Amino acid sequence: MCYCKKNVVEYLRGSAEQYADRLALIMPDGRNITFGGLWQDICRTATVLRSAGMKPGERMIVMIPMSIELYTVMLAIIMCGGVAVFVDPWVPLKKIGAFAAFAEPAGFAGIGRSHLLRLLQPQLRYLRITLTTGRTFGKIPAELSLPAILQSPAAVTSATSDNIVWQPASEDAPALITFTSGSSGTPKGANRTHGFLSAQYAALHTEFSYTPDDIDMPMFPVFALRNLADGITSVIPDIDFKNVAATNGAAVLKQMRTHAVTTCTASPPFIESIAKAITAGAEPVPLHRILTGGAPVENSQLRCWREAFPDTAIELVYGSTEAEPVASISLEERLAATGRGFCCGKPVEQLQTKIIRIHKGRIVFNGWEALEQSPGEPGELIVAGAHVCRDYFRNPDAIADNKLIDNAGSLWHRMGDTGFFDIQQRFRLVGRVHSTITCKEKLLHAQLVEEQVAELLPSAAKVAAVEHDENLLIIIESAPMPDFKQMLHNAGIPADRIVFTNKPLPLDPRHNAKIDYGELTRRLTKGRL
């Protein structure tokens, strides 16, 4: 199979030609579309966008939840040579307008109510191309209506043209921009080029193969894209993507049974929800594989998952927005991997990896000798390869902070995660660079400290270790435990202060699974714990 399509939309064309009548996407409400039908709808939409003035290289905001409409519009933009700027649903509302304006778009595509947000932003109010996934009334809320486009006979004729797919001059041409949380203030838009997306597809295809009969339930948009490229049916889960932790596991299991789902790709809170539902008595589903990633998973969780899915191959995938996948490991191997940190498995063969010394701040490359960490000692993981995002949209500071270029001209991405390679060359995750604690002139790794505390107090819901006023502060979501500070010191944990709280510790907005250390520090500063 070729992994070198100039325009990534060509992958879907191949699926549409080979599996025209196979269902491509199935929605929670039962709506569905075949690969052939989706290709035709994308062609129709691209034809209308081009007629409306969409030019290669121009950016168009996409604020559409994971759905048939999302992939129709997003791939139509890319087919035209445009750049789809995808705003994740978990991004806080107060930041969405700023992110969208930062992209300086030529157009905006979204569900009806998203256009209300657009109209409140002066930079977005008078864009040349606007499209809604619903109906229009005159030109409200947008110039173009997706339902009207898909019912247009004129567009059907144009969709049969062989040259409808714009071809980039270089694999470095941008196709998709996805924003990170922007917690640093300036939005970080990962620039996903056609070459990057092709390489990512190749890595995912190689590492996680499917059978032609598989039906997948992907929670992550990038995995549904991969499914479209491979002719795999995707069932969009019936969940609130802004609050995955609140997933109704029993309802999702019913959806899986209805559509004969065989594989699932989702975040740990999603898997936890369906596993708990089975434990509580819901009818299980005979999945043959689960892929999960986005946050570390405790061994106790894995044991519960194994009980709920005794015959399912469960793989834990490690990666980031800028590099996915980086590594993976089976549930059984993870449980058997005793020792420090979360064992993430061996890096995928498409990547180069190194561990460098921990440095909070920008790094100037002066040779590997000055940077590389001693074998077996925790440091920061950096990666290089074709499916590593090379830059960020209009953000030179983020590029300088997160990328290194070595003497051979290879670009390396700083993962921001700390860890080491064990004797089997598996990456062991021990924390984040920004959460590394300097205490008594020694480096402590938040995750390792938290693991030790959790072992001493297994009833704690969450544990966070942070550096505060140059001291080690342990925050425990639990009822107070008398003399616990002495217990920590006896265990070799030099805690200067312990805070017990009955308030839930803040979690990351994307997966609702990892401690949000930035928000935790803000709450500490304001005395809100």
183 pLDDT tier (thresholds 50, 70, 90): very low
> How open is the CA angle 393-399-403, to the nearest 5 degrees?
135
Q: What is the pLDDT of residue 528?
A: 75
What is the distance between the alpha carbons of residues 357 and 377, in angstroms, rounded to a whole number? 9
**Maximum Cα–Cα distance for the chain, whole Å?**
77
305 pLDDT tier (thresholds 50, 70, 90): very high
Residue appearing with tokens 């193969």:
209
Residue appearing with tokens 């009980």:
307
Query: How far apart, in Å, are the Cα atoms of 334 and each of 208, 242, 299, 329, 343?
Result: 18, 29, 8, 6, 6
85 pLDDT tier (thresholds 50, 70, 90): very high
What is the distance between the alpha carbons of residues 301 and 331, in angstroms, rounded to a whole number? 10
For residue 182, pLDDT over 80 is answered with no
Buried b (16+ CB within 10 A) or exposed e, 339-362: ebbbbbbbbbebbebbbbebeeee
Neighbours of 175 (CB within 10 A): 25
88 pLDDT tier (thresholds 50, 70, 90): confident
Are 60 and 83 in contact by the 8 Å Cβ rule? The answer is yes
What is the distance between the alpha carbons of residues 460 and 218, in angstroms, rounded to a whole number? 31
> Where are the alpha helices (H) located in 247-294, listed in sequence order?
249-258, 268-279
For the chain, list the domains and their CATH numbers: 9-191 (3.40.50.980), 350-434 (2.30.38.10), 437-525 (3.30.300.30)
- The pTM (predicted TM-score) of the whole model is 0.91
Strand partners, 108: 61, 130
Angle, helices 68-79/35-51, rounded to nearest 10 degrees: 50
For residue 113, pLDDT over 60 is answered with yes
Q: pLDDT for 451-481, tens place per residue?
A: 899 989 999 999 999 988 888 999 999 999 9
For residue 81, pLDDT over 60 is answered with yes
Residue 214, CA atoms < 13 Å, CB-side half-sphere:
21
Which residues are within 8 A (CB) of 288 and not within 5 positions of it... i.e. 6 or more apart? 262, 263, 311, 312, 313
For residue 95, pLDDT over 60 is answered with yes
Strand partners, 217: 264
Contacts 24+ apart (CB under 8 A), 29-34: 31/68, 32/68, 33/68
> How open is the CA angle 407-410-413, to the nearest 5 degrees?
115
118 pLDDT tier (thresholds 50, 70, 90): confident
1 pLDDT tier (thresholds 50, 70, 90): very low
What is the distance between the alpha carbons of residues 74 and 178, in angstroms, rounded to a whole number? 12
What is the distance between the alpha carbons of residues 10 and 4, in angstroms, rounded to a whole number? 10
Residue 460 CA to chain centroid, in angstroms? 28
Reference 28, options 240, 243, 284, 294; nearest CA is 240
For residue 386, pLDDT over 50 is answered with yes
Burial of 459 (0-12, 13-18, 19+ CB in 10 A): exposed
295 pLDDT tier (thresholds 50, 70, 90): confident
What is the distance between the alpha carbons of residues 110 and 113, in angstroms, rounded to a whole number? 8
For residue 516, pLDDT over 90 is answered with no
Q: What is the pLDDT of residue 91?
A: 67
Are 198 and 5 in contact by the 8 Å Cβ rule? The answer is yes
Q: What is the pLDDT of residue 510?
A: 66
Q: What is the mean pLDDT of the chain?
A: 91
Q: 212: cis peptide before it, omega within 30°?
A: no
For residue 522, pLDDT over 90 is answered with no
Are 382 and 371 in contact by the 8 Å Cβ rule? The answer is no
Strand partners, 119: none
3 state SS for 330-367: EHHHHHHCCCCCEEEECECCCCEEEEECCCCCCCCCCC
Are 32 and 194 in contact by the 8 Å Cβ rule? The answer is no
- Higher per-residue pLDDT: 85 or 521: 85
Query: 418: phi > 0 → left, psi -120 to 50 → alpha, else beta; which?
Result: beta
